[in-house]
Structure 1
């Protein structure tokens, strides 16, 4: 069964390392037969949050915001690929997600984190878990944590060395966990509308 998944990424840096993990996740999910689209916060280019999508009158939201709202509503699940900035959330990704709220509700999300160091963005992943839950998503328990990213994935997003082998070993559980929740939430949506 194929599902529509969005992989969201938020680095604005000129020499982005996290794009390697994005490519690995996108390739892995596509290999499992899923329809996957990357949403790159830098490419979408939303301004710093002034008004949320829901605060615009119908038809008055900026075009990029309107287009992304439709993609979020049409998705069956999400993967958030996040770096760790000073023990916290990546600002570009946080800004992108904060433009929306109801659009995220009642669907699962998974978190893949990375860093240049050995902690693999784990503190950012922990912060995202609470944030995404507050935004109405079911956050799956399986995560991917990659670090040091330059020693785990090539520039093309291909696993290298022992760390790359460990990542390849961890990915099937991560993907299967997400896809199980995607299937479960789709079935529940078909059976009964969300309570709000």
Structure 2
């Protein structure tokens, strides 16, 4: 059975650049046999966090939240594609993830970051490592950092220039790391029920 991997993306800007990286990750993971799906925070359009999914009585959560909770529970792993906003995380992606908690537990996550500058969003990626760990995920050590996007992926999401070459060289290790931990976590969950 193919690994079920959700690729989360969180920009609400009308001229999204990072969506190219999110779609690239989806295509590359699908090319490796994974059942990868893009979850775009803007498309899901959850409200600013007022009540977490678990705080709704059963069957009363908004439809979009209920649907996403089901997808998260069925996923084997996650990729978070995150831009860097003022040296930190994207509010749209953070808002989406904060609606859930137990749904994330005991699965691996990987981080692909981007920014308009040459650091490729690494400050955001560092912040996400702590956030995702606190939310019960195991964050793999391999990361991807892209910046600037126009020098890495064209409007069709195809690699260009030196940035594109670097991305193509980095992605196999990134995917191998995520898929190894995905297999390990699946195997362990099948053998032993998670402790909580």
- TM-score, length basis structure 2: 0.99
Instruction: Tell me if structure 1 keeps the 8 A contact 2:104–2:136.
Output: yes
Deviations 1:67-124 (A, max 9, x none): 0000000000000000000000100000000000000000000000001110100000
Q: Distance in 1 between matches of 2:80 and 2:10?
A: 9
Instruction: Name the SS of the counterpart of 1:164 in structure 2.
Output: helix
Instruction: Figure out how many residues of one structure are paired with residues of the other and give that number.
Output: 196
Instruction: Name the SS of the counterpart of 2:85 in structure 1.
Output: coil
2:22 aligned partner = 22
2:131 aligned partner = 131
Instruction: Tell me if structure 1 keeps the 8 A contact 2:82–2:89.
Output: yes
1:33 aligned partner = 33
Deviations 1:144-178 (A, max 9, x none): 00011111101111110011001100000000000
Is residue 189 from structure 1 mapped to residue 189 from structure 2 by the alignment?
yes
Q: Distance in 2 between matches of 1:69 and 1:133?
A: 19
- TM-score, length basis structure 1: 0.99
Instruction: Name the SS of the counterpart of 2:51 in structure 1.
Output: coil
- Aligned residue runs from structure 1 range 59-138, under 5 A: 59-138=59-138
* Unaligned segments of structure 2, at least 5 residues: none
Instruction: Name the SS of the counterpart of 1:28 in structure 2.
Output: helix
* Unaligned segments of structure 1, at least 5 residues: none
Q: Distance in 1 between matches of 2:172 and 2:91?
A: 29
Q: Distance in 2 between matches of 1:156 and 1:4?
A: 25
Instruction: Tell me if structure 1 keeps the 8 A contact 2:23–2:38.
Output: no
Q: Distance in 1 between matches of 2:49 and 2:170?
A: 35
Cα deviation, residue 65, structure 1? 0.3
- Aligned residue runs from structure 1 range 160-171, under 5 A: 160-171=160-171
Instruction: Name the SS of the counterpart of 1:73 in structure 2.
Output: helix
- Aligned residue runs from structure 1 range 38-57, under 5 A: 38-57=38-57
Q: Distance in 2 between matches of 1:47 and 1:163?
A: 35
Instruction: Tell me if structure 2 keeps the 8 A contact 1:23–1:156.
Output: no
RMSD: 0.6
Instruction: Name the SS of the counterpart of 1:177 in structure 2.
Output: helix
